[in-house]
Amino acid sequence: MSDLSQMTNNLPIYHAALAVLLAMLLSFGTVIAATPTPAESAVARAGQQKLSQDDYWLKLVHYKKKHPGYQSQADDTEFFNALNGKTSPEAELTATLQAFYQPGDSDDHPQCRFPARLYWLDRKLDLTALGLPAVHCNTLSKWRQTLSAEHATLVFPAAYLNSPSSMFGHTLLRLTPSDYRKSTPLAAYALNYAANADENDGGLAYSFKGLFGGYPGLFSIVPYYEKIKQYSDIESRDIWEYDLNLDQAEIDQLMRHAWEVRHINFDYYFLTENCSYHVLSLLEVARQGSQLTGDFSVKAIPSDTVRAVVDAGMADRAVYRPATTTLIRQHLDSLDPSAKELVEHLSTDTDPASEKRLGTVDNKVTRSRILELAYDYNRYQLLHRNGSATSASQSYRLLAERSRLPAGNVWPPVQQPAYQPEQGHRTTRLAVGGGSRNGDSFLSLRFRPAYHDILDPLAGYSRGSQINFLDFRARYTPTDNSLQLDRFTIIDILSLSPRDNFFKPVSWGIDTGIERMMTNSGRATGIQVGGSSGLSYRMGDQHLFYLLLRGRLKVAKAFQDNYSLGGGLSTGSLFFFKHSTAELSLTGVRFAAGESDTTLAARWRQSFPIGAQRAFRYRLEHRHERGNRINEFEAMLNWYF
Amino acid sequence: MKKTILAMTILAGSSTAFAANDNGSGCGVGAMIFEGQSGVAPHVLAATTNGTFGNQTFGMTSGTLGCEVDQPISVAAADFLDNNMDKVARDMATGTGEALDTLANLMGISAEDSSHFKTVSHAQFATIFSSDSVHSSDVISALNQVMKQDEMLAKYAS
């Protein structure tokens, strides 16, 4: 009992001791909280500097503003350290810093997976001083050493109408090791971003998925000579190579970031997040403070992105690399007709008569030219027309013969187009104007987001090719106070490639859209689809003649049986004058199925560029259509932006 | 140097790698000089869609190419020759051109010696490319022989 009373008496002291102990424990606890781990210090520093909102951090993780916050364009959990990294720059920054402090020393350590982030964060936060563990990234080091990239070149293979995904052109980066290598760029590497398409998909599925993000987009590295084979030899596309003025530090950061995104899926969208867009996003990381992707959230047309890089002062000069066929055509132009004939005969097979004639060509340069061209044309045929073994052995004979003539280049310098692609018109076009239809005047408005039609200013584009994409035309007629959608073209492609003795391309066109059309019972809005195929020829330097077979389907309720299907002919000429481009065309279509009609049209159009980004054009047209005779005149001012 | 070149070839895109492995005979023997058609079909496929069909890799392919076999010229040079036979042959026949410059570069031939290399390969075209059916391995050994017999180029031969 006494013990108990004693205890009870001592209770205040016991309480006091407990309180002291608690206080000590608590203060000890605060001491622990006051000594954060290195990772926590790094996170805290990053918070003080507001790094998660830093423009460069947003670029490194490919964040774009998306109300109410951000979203990264990377569609791959591997790219994020935080679970909500795709939408939270802050969470991703914290998780990235914590990941860098993880124990371990292997190639899959976050330090090795995100070297560009590591480099930048270390510079900003001095992570090394904050006890960052040293990690040896052997695979990464080996990869970088192997590439030894010292120069970067923006490569732009021009438009390729025959491939839906390359219609507007393509861009990639070439990485070149040293100055000596730079003079032999075939040995360099190409860093390419492309849709990882499914081999089993047909053209239509391909186009659809390509447009709407149905394919993963992936980066790849291949030898540059493979790209040359693809673009110059097989697809006959001229290439422009823009040397970028990135310094070694910028190249290094480019390579680190390329490593970060190497297996990362960014869904591929044909118009927006495409090859060209991601080349820009890499360059934004390479050069801090550069703003390149901002203007391309709606569409990234390769030639526009090249212009953005040039305008940002990143490119010094462009080197023109003509396609194999371009070069053959130029070389052929330097020969007289009898020499050309020899080239043609010698290229295919052994021909004693031609060889004898070649023997009579005294000029060694001319003889060399004939042999080289015959070889080049022979190779072209082998590649494009499944040549026979005979012509393959002819290749060898031609070269052996050539090697017996003096060494050296026998050709005049390559003729370069007067304008580089980025010097041409921009691809969005707005036009306003007016005209008259059978005496009724009207005002017209036209808007087209992409890309180029045959009458648009030619500088920087190739002759006779056209891609109008989402071309919208409206017309206001004051007499009846009506505003009408005249036509909405979804896509309108025309490729007029001239034929000669050596090259026999087919000219073709497709177009589809919604338009106000004539029917036997008045005007109506309907859907139309058209296609054409035929031949075109160059007549001198300024004139291209074409003849096309046409098919056309029109669908509208107002037609008898709801449709009208016909076929016919279209012939015309393009004139490339010094200060303008013009077209004269005659078209006749017999609509035989559904609602019948014979439509005849004659048209003259001419366009005058005013500087690089404006043009004036007018059109005169006479048509017989569904029992009407129509005379129409229209003049418009065009702005390109 | 040798190691770098080996690594480069490892990195040099898998089309070569697959070709070499398919033949099961190491590199430098894959291509016949004028078999122009081979490999065109897949190229055209890739070209018309501009896609990559999975066999384009980003960097290191795992494993080796079977290229460690003794070769008189560097693996990178052999690899380049393998893939660009028709262009190298054309350039040797004319004694000038980008493919020949590249080959000289990959063979480690100095800038000073490269014009002599071009002259010699032009003069010896028929020796280096002895027929229309030579394989790149034949070309490599013939080229090596030619260089051995040349005072200036012997140092690059083995």
- Single-letter amino acid, residue B79: D
Question: How far is the alpha carbon of A545 from chain B, nearest alpha carbon, in Å?
Answer: 27
- Residue A408 to residue B58, Cβ atoms within 8 A: no
Residues of A in Cβ contact (< 8 Å) with B33: 396
Q: List the beta bridge partners of residue A513.
A: A489, A528
**In this structure, what are the phi and psi dihedrals at residue A516, rounded to the nearest 5 degrees?**
-75, 120
Residues A542-576: pLDDT tens digits? 999 999 999 999 999 999 999 999 999 999 999 99
pLDDT for A13 equals 59
The ipTM of this complex is 0.84
Phi-psi label, residue A633: left if phi above 0, alpha if psi -120 to 50, beta otherwise = beta
For residue A396, give the nearest of B33, B45, B92 by CB distance.
Answer: B33
Residues of B in Cβ contact (< 8 Å) with A393: 34, 132
For residue B36, give the nearest of A186, A219, A392 by CB distance.
Answer: A392
C-alpha to C-alpha distances, A114 to A93, B129, B130, nearest whole angstrom: 12, 48, 51
Q: Is the dihedral of CA B66, B70, B72, B74 positive or negative?
A: positive
pLDDT for A8 equals 44
Highest average pLDDT, of A71-80, A167-176, B33-42, comes from: A71-80
For residue B132, give the nearest of A143, A163, A393 by CB distance.
Answer: A393
pLDDT for B56 equals 34
pLDDT for A27 equals 53
B79: Cα within 13 Å, side-chain hemisphere: 29
Position B15 confidence tier, pLDDT thresholds 50, 70, 90? very low
More confident: A162 or A453:
A453
pLDDT for B1 equals 35
Question: Which range is least confidently modeled, A188-192, A617-621, B23-27?
Answer: B23-27
Is A169's pLDDT higher than 60?
Answer: yes
Residue of A nearest to B77 (CA): A187
For residue B36, give the nearest of A139, A180, A387 by CB distance.
Answer: A387
C-alpha to C-alpha distances, A300 to A2, A56, A215, A542, nearest whole angstrom: 93, 21, 17, 32
Which of A163, A375, A385, A396 best probes binding to B when mutated, by most B CB atoms within 10 angstroms? A396
Residue of A nearest to B119 (CA): A407
Alpha helices in A78-212 (DSSP H): 89-100, 110-113, 115-125, 138-147, 179-182, 203-211
pLDDT for A298 equals 75
Residues B29-69: pLDDT tens digits? 445 555 544 333 333 333 333 333 333 334 333 223 334 44
Residues of B in Cβ contact (< 8 Å) with A235: 47
Instruction: Give the number of other Cβ atoms within 10 Å of residue A311's Cβ.
Output: 12
Contacts of A5 (CB under 8 A, 6+ apart): none
C-alpha to C-alpha distances, A341 to A107, A333, A337, A360, B58, nearest whole angstrom: 62, 12, 6, 14, 46
Q: Which of A186, A40, A166, A36 is nearest to A101 (CA)?
A: A40
Position B8 confidence tier, pLDDT thresholds 50, 70, 90? very low
User: Distance between CA atoms of B113 and B123, rounded to whole angstroms?
Assistant: 16
End-to-end CA distance of chain A: 100
Residue of B nearest to A204 (CA): B49
Position A386 confidence tier, pLDDT thresholds 50, 70, 90? low
- Residue B84 to residue A225, Cβ atoms within 8 A: yes
Question: Which range is least confidently modeled, A98-102, A410-414, A594-598, B104-108?
Answer: B104-108
- Residue B11 to residue A230, Cβ atoms within 8 A: no
User: Distance between CA atoms of A358 and A375, rounded to whole angstroms?
Assistant: 14
Mean pLDDT of the region B112-117: 94
Q: Which of A131, A127, A108, A102 is nearest to A51 (CA)?
A: A127
Q: Give residue A443's Cα distance to chain centre.
A: 35
Which of A211, A225, A261 best probes binding to B when mutated, by most B CB atoms within 10 angstroms? A225
| pTM reported for the whole predicted model | 0.85
Question: Which range is least confidently modeled, A154-158, A189-193, B64-68?
Answer: B64-68
C-alpha to C-alpha distances, A139 to A109, A122, A143, nearest whole angstrom: 11, 21, 6
Residues of A in Cβ contact (< 8 Å) with B4: 145-146, 148
The rounded mean pLDDT for chain A is 88
- Residue B52 to residue A396, Cβ atoms within 8 A: no
Residues of B in Cβ contact (< 8 Å) with A376: 90
Judged by DSSP in three states, A142 sits in: helix
Residues B120-135: pLDDT tens digits? 999 999 999 998 888 8
pLDDT for B71 equals 58
Question: How far is the alpha carbon of B158 from chain A, nearest alpha carbon, in Å?
Answer: 23
For residue B40, give the nearest of A166, A375, A383 by CB distance.
Answer: A383
Residues of B in Cβ contact (< 8 Å) with A275: 50
Is B26's pLDDT higher than 90?
Answer: no
Question: How far is the alpha carbon of A343 from chain B, nearest alpha carbon, in Å?
Answer: 16
Residue of B nearest to A200 (CA): B53
A13-50 as b/e: b if 16+ CB within 10 A: eeeeeeeeeeeeeeeeeeeeeeeeebbbbbbebbeeee
- Residue B99 to residue A186, Cβ atoms within 8 A: yes
pLDDT for A533 equals 96
pLDDT for A511 equals 94
Which of B50, B92, B122, B134 best probes binding to A when mutated, by most A CB atoms within 10 angstroms? B50
Residue of B nearest to A260 (CA): B58
Query: What residues does each domain of chain B span?
Result: 19-69, 74-156
- Single-letter amino acid, residue A281: S
pLDDT for B32 equals 59
- Residue B47 to residue A386, Cβ atoms within 8 A: no
Is B91's pLDDT higher than 60?
Answer: yes
For residue A226, give the nearest of B15, B89, B123 by CB distance.
Answer: B15
Contacts of B62 (CB under 8 A, 6+ apart): none
Position A133 confidence tier, pLDDT thresholds 50, 70, 90? very high
- Residue B48 to residue A162, Cβ atoms within 8 A: yes
Residues of B in Cβ contact (< 8 Å) with A255: none
Contact between A158 and A237 under an 8 Å Cβ cutoff? The reply is yes
Question: How far is the alpha carbon of A86 from chain B, nearest alpha carbon, in Å?
Answer: 24
Residues A505-518: pLDDT tens digits? 899 999 999 999 99
Count of A–B CB contacts within 8 Å? 174
C-alpha to C-alpha distances, A420 to A175, A201, A245, nearest whole angstrom: 22, 35, 18
Is B10's pLDDT higher than 80?
Answer: no
- Residue A145 to residue B4, Cβ atoms within 8 A: yes
For residue B106, give the nearest of A187, A189, A262 by CB distance.
Answer: A187
pLDDT for A372 equals 97
CA quadruple A449, A454, A456, A457: dihedral, nearest 10: 130
3-state secondary structure chain B: CHHHHHHHHHHCCHHHHHHHHHHCCCCCCCCECCCCCCCHHHHHHHHHHCCCCCCCCCCCCCCCCCCCCCCCCCHHHHHHHHHCHHHHHHHHHHCCCHHHHHHHHHCCCCHHHHHHHHHHHHHCHHHHCCCCCCEHHHHHHHHHHHHHCCCCCHHHCC
For residue B50, give the nearest of A163, A223, A409 by CB distance.
Answer: A163
More confident: A285 or A193:
A285
User: Distance between CA atoms of A495 and A508, rounded to whole angstroms?
Assistant: 5
More confident: A32 or A453:
A453
pLDDT for A342 equals 94
- Residue A195 to residue B50, Cβ atoms within 8 A: yes
Question: How far is the alpha carbon of B141 from chain A, nearest alpha carbon, in Å?
Answer: 19
Which residue is listed with tokens 């890309």? A451
Mean pLDDT of the region B17-26: 31
Burial of residue B157, with CB atoms counted within 10 A of its CB: 0-12 exposed, 13-18 middle, 19 or more buried = middle
Residues A202-247: pLDDT tens digits? 666 666 666 666 677 778 888 899 899 888 988 889 999 999 999 9
Question: How far is the alpha carbon of A257 from chain B, nearest alpha carbon, in Å?
Answer: 13
Position A181 confidence tier, pLDDT thresholds 50, 70, 90? low
- Residue B129 to residue A400, Cβ atoms within 8 A: yes
Is A195's pLDDT higher than 90?
Answer: no
Cis peptide leading into A68, omega within 30 of 0?
Answer: yes
Percent of chain A with pLDDT over 70: 90
Q: Which of A192, A195, A196, A176 is nearest to A184 (CA)?
A: A176
Is A457's pLDDT higher than 90?
Answer: yes
B110-129 as b/e: b if 16+ CB within 10 A: eeebbeebbbbbbbbbeebb
Residue of B nearest to A185 (CA): B102
- Residue A222 to residue B54, Cβ atoms within 8 A: no
Question: How far is the alpha carbon of B41 from chain A, nearest alpha carbon, in Å?
Answer: 9
- Residue A220 to residue B83, Cβ atoms within 8 A: no
pLDDT for A182 equals 62
Residues of A in Cβ contact (< 8 Å) with B88: none
More confident: A448 or A183:
A448
The rounded mean pLDDT for chain B is 67
Q: DSSP readout, A506-535?
A: PEEEEEEEEEEEEETTEEEEEEEEEEEEEE
